[in-house]
Structure formats: structure tokens, C-alpha cells
Chain A
């Protein structure tokens, strides 16, 4: 057991990498997801179709395969990404594809009367998006995205397969040297569980905070 304690700093380093990757992928993937989700609702056929193609591609290909392509095959096409760049891009594209579907659904859930009211007030389409559609859509999204974010957090462990030194990969290093898979995997299991719980609680608090605003939104309750 004592020799396992010597490895704690390495595991913490891995944990830090996992959290960093999660935060970056979340920010990039979710933002891209908003853009793609809105593009799928565009009036322009080309934009709509391109967005659909993106979603189907990255939903249809496993993250593992995407990462392998980015890291091991892309260099032959002239694109050499570091393990970090490949991981961030692969995870963000996949996450964007999934979250864009939720965003599309959330935007569609906003009553047409609100669009009409915004038009009547003389808002441009960008203003309608910024002041009317997105603030409500994002709130409607919160309960849905909680699930997706937890999946993303755990899903980042796939990057260990291309060698990014995240929590899973570092745990693997410890197992290789100590030959004690059970205690190490137990620590990893508990860590992901605690992180997921913290994330779920955070999302619930945000729902409580911003969801209240939703009740006062015009057209929903008067």
C-alpha cells in the first residue's frame, strides 16, 4: 500500500489534465454546438445540409476512431497535431455534434409567438437570437445538458488511448509498475464518480437559479 502512495502525485497530475481537457472541450464543443444547432435551422439549404452532414459524421463515428484519425492518420495528409490538439479537437467536434441536437430542440421549443413579437418590435434577426431566443433556449437546455456534460467528463478518458496523460492513462502507468490494478482502479472509479456528482449538483444549482427567471418570461406565465 505504501508504494502506491508514492504514485499519488502522478494521479493528481492526471486528474488535472482530465479537468483541463474537460473544461476546454466543454467551452469549445458547446459553443460550436450552438453554431451548428442554429445552422441546422437556417433558411439557407446549403448551411442546413452542411450542418446536418457534420452532425451525422461525428455522431456516426466513434470518438476513438476520430482520435486515431486525427493523431495517427492526419500527419500523412500534412496535418501534425500534438496529442493535446488532437484530443481537444476530436472531443470538441464529437461533443458539438451531440449538443447541437439539444440546442436545435431547445430553440424549436420557443413559441412562434415570441418570434413574431420580436419582429413586431423591429428587432433584427441577430437581436432576436441574442435577446429572445438564446437566453430562453439555454435555460431550457440546462436539464438536458447535465447528462451530456457528465458523459463528456467520463468520455474524455478515451484520450488515454492515444497517450494523453489524463487520469486514466496515469492510472495505467501506476498499474504497469505496481501490478496492483484493483486499488488503483478503485481510486479512479471513485474520482470519476465524485467529479460526476459535483458536476450534476452544479448543473442543478444553475437550473434552480436560471430556471426561476424562465417562469417570468413573457408569453409563458402571466
Chain B
């Protein structure tokens, strides 16, 4: 019996094949064109990229990525699920070749990865419990009342905004994933959450208006004279500049096609949510 277990384990160890990565001579772009397959990292978040009951992916980022990669001659886009905070580490570790997860373009992230030009712009929305029991209408209200807790997602861009607003660490509560932040709000563990308008509407609708609502009115913060608008971008490894350039061209060329409009319409994204061509990645990346 002992022998059999030992041999089985040796065989299994062999079969699981410790694939040691070799320094590939070809670029990511060449590889995905040759294979016809590209892997994208996603964080299971509506409406960007999420799983459907049959296990396949849907979402505005996933579908736009698929349309753009098809244009590049890469017909198949596979999703690799990771937690939100592992999107950038996963890309850098080579577990996937692009991020299609509604990632905001932020200067700190530009230093780590290469972004495509922004494909969606969206303002923040603040969600609170029904009836806004703590009467929250701005971040000044949060600063005035230390009892107010804000729920955030680990690795979230909003964290930096709160820091700039001077909101102390003691008022921030971190969660692994976006849905958990919302459940924390519903169960009273936190008093407000910020998210994009998309996600806020989505969750308020799913809740059926029974326990949460968007805080209205809410004065959004202004940084350096600019209202805080989030720009969504697809992420790539900094070495893959050729891929980024071609992806940008592909994304630009599908704009306005019926397929592109259909994808946006499916997720209730309007023309106002699409950044004008004057909005440049380089400016958003500037600190």
C-alpha cells in the first residue's frame, strides 16, 4: 500500500508538470495573433466583466475587448478570474495579457502598467442606507462625524481620494470585493460606499429599493479645480507597447459601428459616457 501511494504521488507530481517559463523571443502581440487566443484578467464585477450562469463571460469591458481583439485578428478572448486587488499583480506575473475589468486610469497605476486610451468616463456615485439615516451629503459631513464608516474595496482608486480629503484611516473599512462592500452597507457595517454610477444603479436596482439608495444630493469633491471623473482603460504590460498601439487603433476603428453601439446599449451606456478624443491617456496619467 505504501509503495502504491508513493508511486502514485510521484506520477501525479510529474503529470502536474512544473512548467518553468522560458524567455520567449516573440512578443505578446505576435503570440496572441499566432494562437488566435488572448487571456484577459477580470474581477467579476458588473457591468464590466462578469460570469454568466453557463460560465461564459459578459460585460461592457469584456465585450469591447472581444470586438477590438477580433479586429486585431485574435478571435478568442478567455477570461482569467482574479480578485480586484490581484489584477495588476496577475498581469505582471503573466497569468493574462490584458486587464478588462473596468480599471480606472490613475497616475499610480500608470507607473505600473500600460493603459489603452480611455474607453469610458464616469463620475462617482455615493450609496447610503435607505433614507440616508446619517444625513450624508458631502465628504465634509463624513469628516464632521467620526462615527460614519466608508466601505472600500482593497486596492481601490478611491482610497487615494479619501486620503487627499483628509478622511482618517479609522473611518475606512476595506473589503475583498465590490459586492462585499455593498452587503456591508446593507447590513449596517458601513454607512456609505462610493462606486461608479453604473455600479451604484445596478446595485440599487438589484436591491429593489428596499434597503439602499443613492445619496442625493451629494457634493462630489473637486481636486485641483477638476471634478473627479473616472476614466476606464484596458491594461497591458509596459513591454507590450506594440500591442497597446494596435489595440488603440482597433478600439478607435470599431467606434460608431452597430456592433459597438449594441454593446454600449446592452449595458445602458450612453454617448455622454464615452470620452471625447481630446481626452488623452497621457493627461490622465499626470499626477
Contacts and interface: CB of A to CB of B under 8 A. Distances in A.
A30 B5 contact: yes
Main secondary structure on chain A at its contact with chain B? helix
B275 interface: no
Chain A interface size, under 10 / 10 to 19 / 20 to 34 / 35 or more: 35 or more
A82 interface: yes
A176 B45 contact: yes
A16 interface: no
Contact of A83 (B18, B44, B95, B183): B95
B72 interface: no
A31 B9 contact: yes
B21 interface: yes
Interface in A1-40: 6-7, 9-10, 13, 24, 27-28, 30-32, 34-35
B287 interface: no
A177 interface: yes
A72 B90 contact: yes
Nearest to B3: A130
Main secondary structure on chain B at its contact with chain A? mixed
Contact of A81 (B19, B86, B177): B19
B81 A176 contact: no
Interface string B44-74: 1110001111110000000000000000000
Contacts of B222: none
A79 B93 CA distance: 10
A80 interface: yes
Interface in A44-66: none
Interface stretch (A113-121, A161-169, A199-207, A212-220): A161-169
Interface residues of B, number: 43
B93 A161 contact: no
Given A13-B55, A72-B89, A79 B183 contact: no
A80 B19 contact: yes
B21 A172 contact: no
A32 B9 contact: yes
B179 A31 contact: no
Task: Select the residue from B3, B6, B9, B46 with max chain A CB neighbours within 10 A.
Answer: B9
A179 B179 contact: yes
Given A71-B95, A134-B2, A181 B86 contact: no
Interface in B169-214: 176-179, 182-183, 203, 206-207
A129 B2 contact: yes
Nearest to B206: A179
B20 A177 contact: no
B5 A34 contact: yes
A173 interface: yes
A107 interface: no
Interface string A122-162: 00000001100011001000000000000000000000011
Nearest to B52: A177
A175 interface: yes
A108 B53 CA distance: 52
A80 B21 contact: yes
Interface of A: 6-7, 9-10, 13, 24, 27-28, 30-32, 34-35, 71-76, 78-85, 88-89, 129-130, 134-135, 138, 161-163, 165, 169, 172-173, 175-179, 181
19 contacts: A27-B5, A27-B8, A27-B9, A32-B9, A34-B5, A75-B93, A75-B94, A79-B21, A80-B19, A80-B93, A130-B2, A134-B2, A165-B81, A169-B81, A172-B177, A172-B179, A173-B51, A176-B177, A177-B50
